[in-house]
Amino acid sequence: MRQRSVTPARTMREQSEVSDSDVRYAYSLYEIIYRVMGLWPFTCQNIGSWGLTIFACTTQITMILFMTGETIISASQVDPQLMSFLSCNFLSLTKIIVVRANWSKMQLVIKDLISATNFLHDSKALAIVRARAKLGRTICIYQLGGTYFVCLPTIIATLPIFATIVNETVNDTSSGLRSFPLQTSRLFGGLSTSLYVIMFGYQIIQLFFTCTGNVGNDVCFFGIALNLTAQFECLALNCESISEPDTDVSRENIFSGTIKRQVELIELAKHLERTFNLIILCIVSANCSQICFYGILIIRSARAGDLVVCINTIICVIILTLQMFMYSYAGDSLSRAIENVGTTAYKCLWYEMSPANKQNVLFILVRTSKIFSLTAGKIYRMDLDSFKNIIKAIGSYFSVMQAMFNE
């Protein structure tokens, strides 16, 4: 049986199709999330993109005003759910503004990563990129999908067909207060039916942008950071092949490409850190403050025997902790991948190379000797060790608060 010949053009076309498929798999979800908020770097100069960003920010600002007004009118104790909403609004607004302000840096990062994925043909390198892309995509689906799923009961429970009209006396006049997703019945309870429908729909949109702006930015950062980590791992894989060529000229060519790529990737990592360090600082500050508040609530509800409030509060603490863990894991992975490039270069047979190539190995080692750190506002390093310290501090706080309540 006669075999079909494979032409170079056909091989290149098949490789191109595989590369395009990998790019779509790795970045399509992040593109959708960023486009919804007008933050996709390649369209940030368009009027439509500006309009989406302004609308997203408007929903968050008005949501803060709505809930603040409801709190003032009701003059009741601070509701934990209200506190969570306000914190999410603040973080969502901060993330949208900061990412939008640094769109040019994000464009450089994403453009380089997409281009690098398109030119990957080594099977080992492709396996590394696909594994990292799969992890980022899985976290994105579960984290963002889970957030939408949690918000869904909040909306369904306040629909007119499910919610009960709460009768209250306002200024000695009995009136029925309608339900809203944001629990702003006192602020908007007297609206007409048509305005009620509009406000109900607008609050659903507000919740959507709160989830997307807060959690959506987190999963996008996590996925992009993992893809950047994969590029450093591919670079380390390239360093392993330095010892294979028999001639110093071939080694010189490999060193030249490796050193140039190392400089480019380190600069991309710095762009990512400069964009998100303020966001991470806000997340760590807000989450730790909320966890401390929830700690008091857990102790009080446990002593009062209110298991429902206690369990719900513990779930909130776990969610806030996972959010900080996600950034710590991404920072730790990036730091280790950058250090591993130098370790791999040192393990090559540098002692059998020419003096010029030995100097090239030294260049790689010097660049990796300066430890890269993902930081919270250039103040606190975000890695797994730092995350452990945060957990220890929170545990110590809980112990102190429990001792105070026992007294």
pLDDT digits 0-9 by tens, 115-151: 998 888 788 889 999 999 999 999 999 999 988 988 8
Query: What is the per-residue pLDDT across 306-334, written as a single tens digit (0 to 9) for each?
Result: 777 788 788 888 888 989 999 999 999 99
C-beta separation of 310 from 281 below 8 A: no
Whether residue 1 lies inside any domain: the answer is no
- Cβ partners under 8 Å of residue 41, min gap 6: 34, 103, 104, 106, 107, 110, 111
Give the mean model confidence (pLDDT) for residues 297-302.
82
Q: Residue 76 in 3-state DSSP?
A: coil
Q: What are phi and psi of 377, to 5 degrees?
A: 65, 30
Residue 247: pLDDT band by 50, 70, 90 thresholds?
Answer: low
**DSSP codes joined into one string, 116-139:** HHHT---HHHHHHHHHHHHHHHHH
Shortest CA distance to 346 belongs to which of 270, 236, 184, 199? Answer: 236
The SS3 assignment for 380 reads strand
Is 178 inside a domain boundary?
Answer: yes
Rg over alpha carbons for the chain, rounded to the nearest Å, is 26
Question: What SS3 class is residue 187?
Answer: helix
pLDDT in tens, 340-391: 988 888 877 777 677 777 777 888 888 887 888 899 999 999 999 999 999 9
Domain count, the chain: 1
CA distance 76 to 70: 10
Structural domain range at position 286: 14-406
Region 21-36: mean pLDDT is 93
Q: Is 3 inside any structural domain? A: no
Residue 58 in this model has a pLDDT that exceeds 70 = yes
